[in-house]
Amino acid sequence: MKKSTTLLVLILVFLILSLAGSAWCDPRAQIIEIQCGRQREHNSTLFVPNFVSTMEAISDQMRVSGFGKAVTGAGPDGNYGLAQCYGDLSLLDCVLCYAQARTVLPKCFPNNSGRVFLDGCFMRSANYSFFEEYEGDENDKEVCGNVTRKAGSRFRSTAETAIAQAVSDARHRRGYARTELPVPGSANASVYVLTDCWRSLNASSCSACLSSAAKSVRRCLPKSEGRALFTGCFIRYSDVDFLNDEPRSTGSREILLVLLVSVLSGVFLLVMGVLIGVYVYKHRVIQKKRRGSNDVEKLAKILHDSSLNFKYSTIVKATGYFDEGYKLGQGGFGTVYKGVLADGREIAVKRLFYNNRHRAADFYNEVNIISRMEHKNLVRLLGCCCSGPESLLVYEYLPNKSLDRFIFDASRGKALTWDKRYEVILGTAEGLVYLHENTNIRIIHRDIKASNILLDTKLRAKIADFGLARSFEEDKSHISTAIAGTLGYMAPEYLAHGQLTEKADVYSFGVLMLEVVSGRQNNRGKATEYSDSLVIQAWKLFQRGAVEELFDPNLLLHNYHDSNVKAEVSRAVHIGLLCTQESSTLRPLMSKVLEMLRRKNEELPAPANPPFVDEGTMSFNDTSENQSYHFRYPESVASVSHSSFYPR
């Protein structure tokens, strides 16, 4: 990368020098200081093209006016850029200085912001709008020249006078001023001063910035040179004449050179973007390979030290060589088959699609988490196999398959009376309490939904599919992770910020409760007869005191006049709304939810509103405050999980 940069700069300089001769004065392209931000870029896939696009937009403005600012993208991946040449540079000199600055700023990568001070221009990039900032930044400083100290008080007093005069003049010239004052009693000795403000500042901000910068740069005296590098302005004094002649009108030859420099520097930045992209890609590939190899080693040790390992040939025979007649269901990560072992045991085999959507880390994660847990409401992992051409997980076989086959089917739903549904809700809650609170480490499932709740022969619930589950230590408040799960079941704060806590499972459980009560899916499409999501329907009916309109007719088929059943179902809706409140801090812990389910006479608190969803844009909207989160579901999230019957 360094060799490519050097070669391009040499080519650029050679071509310009060959054509230009003495067409300019001095672009003053020497670098004074680079200041890189401390925060790393959020998403390099977006950061690099946004940065390149911003620099290109600024380039177009720089060769016309010597100033440019641009914005590309929004949010943490947005890029705000500003560049400006000091007032005594011609347009050609300006483009040369800017070409140098934009080759330097990428050195701040992978940090997402940076500033470059050159003696002829300034450039800054960040992921927020800084255009009106002018002082008070921790990076504001003076840089004193490592040159001779001027003896006597005459140079100091002359320099102070020159600085004050330049600052005063600058207030009437949009921040730009230049001053030359001879030092009394010293032959051929003078003080030269230049000031300039960024053109994005108003007059008062510019004046305030220059006042602070002047105070700062005076600290360099009696050294013979000093610079003030401030957020919104620049001041330089020196005993050497560094000032160019006032810019004159640009001729056709200069215009040609400006275009040449712009094109060459544009090519350079494009190459820099490609090089950064290659670097990021290689870095990620290396990290993935390292993680993958570590996971394989861990998994191999687990299998070697336990009785979990199945021979590939054993599973293939048990499933009739994965015959279609044995197929139980298919999800986003694989297909599930029924199998019968040689000893007569029935098993369910999850055959994983081993591609970029299910890496070794996910396979290891599921084996590692579920193999250590044992609870009556968690599906039991019998073993696994990773020695064949694909990865296989072997579970206990549950003949009634998954909950969604019952509650979303008008005919099968009749088999699930309210008592049975209540047992399913209670069993699921007990399983989640065990995951969240009764293990050595906290485990968040991340994908609680009807298709991941399996039913045994007595229609009792068992939580399945731990491929997305995450664990973290007690001393952590949350973990930050890539968003994954199923639309309609993911908590709003997890979608918006990627911060995962147990409250994400609580939200999913609340949605599940409302589905069990109503027999309707929350993540159904717009083509249905209902305009609102199930959660919003339940909230509106609860507000009207008409929650019975939400009930699945199958619930009251045999007990239509039973007031106790209606009260229990209404209470379940109430608890479901407590679990799906928009604010995660208001949602109860699963242990409290379990307590509310068991203590049927305990008074419940009033629920706050759930997140309101505009399904046309899939954006969360708080209609009570007339505010919007403006969060769109990524396509990758939408396709993460659509499993059925058995876990993915």
pLDDT at 284 over 80: no
Over range 145-166, report the average pLDDT. 85
pLDDT at 249 over 90: no
Over range 607-635, report the average pLDDT. 47
Q: How many CB atoms lie within 10 A of CB 138?
A: 7
Least confident of 227-231, 334-338, 586-590, 599-603: 334-338
Does residue 369 lie within any of the structural domains? yes
Does one domain contain both 506 and 559?
yes
Q: What is the DSSP string of 124-172?
A: EEESS--TT--S--TT-EEEE-SSPBPPSSHHHHHHHHHHHHHHHHHTT
pLDDT of residue 628: 30
pLDDT of residue 497: 73
Does residue 599 lie within any of the structural domains? yes
Residues placed in the known binding site: 350
pLDDT of residue 397: 92
pLDDT at 167 over 70: yes
- Contact between 88 and 246 under an 8 Å Cβ cutoff? The reply is yes
Does one domain contain both 304 and 425?
no
Number of domains in the chain: 4
Reduce the secondary structure of 15-55 to three states and give it as a string: HHHHHHCCCCCCCCCCEEEEEECCCECCCHHHHHHHHHHHH
Does one domain contain both 43 and 116?
yes
pLDDT of residue 616: 40
Instruction: Indicate which CATH number applies to the domain containing 606.
Output: 1.10.510.10
CA 569, CA 573: separation in Å to the nearest integer?
6
The domain containing residue 120 runs over which residues? 31-126
Least confident of 287-291, 334-338, 371-375: 287-291
Does one domain contain both 418 and 316?
no
Does one domain contain both 318 and 234?
no
Does residue 132 lie within any of the structural domains? no
Does residue 323 lie within any of the structural domains? yes
pLDDT of residue 198: 95
374 pLDDT band, cuts 50/70/90, is confident
pLDDT of residue 648: 38
pLDDT at 442 over 60: yes
pLDDT of residue 305: 52
Chosen domain end from 176, 211, 238: 238
pLDDT of residue 2: 44
pLDDT at 36 over 70: yes
273 pLDDT band, cuts 50/70/90, is low
Over range 419-430, report the average pLDDT. 95
Does one domain contain both 107 and 227?
no
pLDDT of residue 470: 78
pLDDT at 294 over 60: no
- Contact between 575 and 507 under an 8 Å Cβ cutoff? The reply is no
Least confident of 184-188, 602-606, 641-645: 641-645
Tell me the pLDDT of the chain averaged across its residues: 78
Place of tokens 């993208």: 73
Does one domain contain both 305 and 440?
no
Does one domain contain both 371 and 425?
no
Does one domain contain both 560 and 481?
yes
Instruction: Indicate which CATH number applies to the domain containing 70.
Output: 3.30.430.20
626 pLDDT band, cuts 50/70/90, is very low
pLDDT of residue 233: 95
pLDDT at 297 over 70: no
Over range 576-588, report the average pLDDT. 94
Higher pLDDT, 433 or 2: 433
Residues with Cβ within 8 Å of 529's Cβ and at least 6 positions away in sequence, in order, are none
pLDDT of residue 527: 43
Query: Could you give the percent of the chain with pLDDT greater than 90?
Result: 39
Residues with Cβ within 8 Å of 585's Cβ and at least 6 positions away in sequence, in order, are none
Helix or strand or coil: residue 395?
strand
Residues placed in the known binding site for ATP: 350
DSSP 111: B
Higher pLDDT, 16 or 83: 83
pLDDT of residue 346: 93
527-575 residue pLDDT tens: 444 467 899 999 999 999 999 999 998 887 665 567 788 899 999 999 9
Does residue 485 lie within any of the structural domains? yes
Over range 340-346, report the average pLDDT. 91
pLDDT at 93 over 50: yes
Does residue 2 lie within any of the structural domains? no
| 628 beta partners | 621
Nearest to 394 by CA among 464, 325, 332, 441: 464
Does one domain contain both 109 and 182?
no
Q: How many CB atoms lie within 10 A of CB 165?
A: 16
Place of tokens 């995660």: 584
Residues with Cβ within 8 Å of 467's Cβ and at least 6 positions away in sequence, in order, are 333, 358, 362, 363, 365, 366, 447, 647, 648
Does one domain contain both 502 and 577?
yes
Higher pLDDT, 358 or 593: 593
Chosen domain end from 368, 397, 426: 397
213-238 residue pLDDT tens: 999 999 999 899 999 999 999 999 99
Least confident of 23-27, 172-176, 444-448, 562-566: 23-27
- List residues with catalytic annotation: 447
Does one domain contain both 377 and 406?
no
pLDDT of residue 48: 78
pLDDT of residue 389: 58
Chosen domain end from 86, 102, 126: 126
CA 600, CA 548: separation in Å to the nearest integer?
18
Instruction: Indicate which CATH number applies to the domain containing 384.
Output: 3.30.200.20
644 pLDDT band, cuts 50/70/90, is very low
Does residue 266 lie within any of the structural domains? no
CA 636, CA 423: separation in Å to the nearest integer?
34
199 pLDDT band, cuts 50/70/90, is very high
pLDDT of residue 618: 39
Least confident of 216-220, 478-482, 630-634: 630-634
Does residue 228 lie within any of the structural domains? yes
94-119 residue pLDDT tens: 888 888 888 788 888 788 899 999 99
